[in-house]
Amino acid sequence: MEILPEDKNIVAVIIAIEDYRFAGKDGGISSVKFAKNDATKFKELLIDHFGATEDNITLWIDEQATKTALEQELPYIVRQLSPSDKFIFYYAGHGFYNNDSNRLTVWDSHTSNLFGTSVSIDEVLLTPLSKSTCDNKLIFLDACSTFISNSLGSRDLISSMDTDEFEEFGNSSNYNAIFCSCSPGEKSFPNDTLKHGIWTWHLLEALRGNAPLATFKDEFITDTSLQNYLRKSSS
């Protein structure tokens, strides 16, 4: 599958949580360095390189990325998609697996009730997308659980995201693809020189056409060629 076909109208939701509401306090979640820059550069990429319009891009950064926004607004946006749309979702922040679900933290997530103050990826995104008439969907998750689990007590058992749920989504259509920065046990690190998360920086370079190893037959980027490139370049 070619990642961004030119005959589709791009609709995107971009989320970045760099400074969590309770960061630095007891029970707070640590900041995600350069998440804001990752998100803004991803938005610029969609506009400058792929013809997306400002009106079709929803950008939530920090306090805009609330539980209500992800649980109510995100499914609403998905319900408005049409067959002519290409839907792109990008998230930079902390994610984890707990109680049989992959979850994303929101701006005011708190480790004292991490499950209750986070959102289920399946409920807010995957299930709504499965019911949508849009058949062309890309999901990019630059998130891992390591920096949350380091601050939790032993009773709070969380782990890296479970890939089975993502594989099911990818296999449900030839035009679905999901890219995740962290396989189980891996970490997603920022880079002070690049001022980006390493994974997102490589993603941006590939989509800008600056990474020949991410292309298929030196012509275009496919889901497989991009997956392989990100796995090798970010490891």
Predicted local confidence at residue 171, as pLDDT: 63
Quickly count: other Cβ atoms within 10 Å of residue 105's Cβ: 27
CA 223 to chain centre: 15
140 or 158, greater pLDDT: 140
Q: Which of 83-92, 144-153, 179-188 has the lowest mean pLDDT?
A: 144-153
Predicted local confidence at residue 157, as pLDDT: 37
Q: Which domains does the chain have, with CATH numbers?
A: 9-187 (3.40.50.1460)
Q: What is the β-pairing status of strands 101-105 and 196-197?
A: unpaired
pLDDT one-digit tens code per residue, 94-127:
988 877 888 999 999 998 898 999 999 999 999 9
pLDDT one-digit tens code per residue, 27-58:
778 889 999 999 999 999 999 999 999 999 99
Cβ(107)–Cβ(66) below 8 Å: yes
DSSP letter for each residue of 88-105: EEEEEEEEEEETTEEEEE
Predicted local confidence at residue 99, as pLDDT: 74
Name the strand (E) or helix (H) holding 77. helix 74-79
Q: Is the pTM of this model over 0.85?
A: yes
Q: Residue 21 pLDDT more than 70?
A: yes
Three-state SS for 214? Answer: helix
Task: Enter the tokens of residue 25.
Answer: 């306090």
Quick one: which of 27, 17, 16 has its CA closest to 110? 27
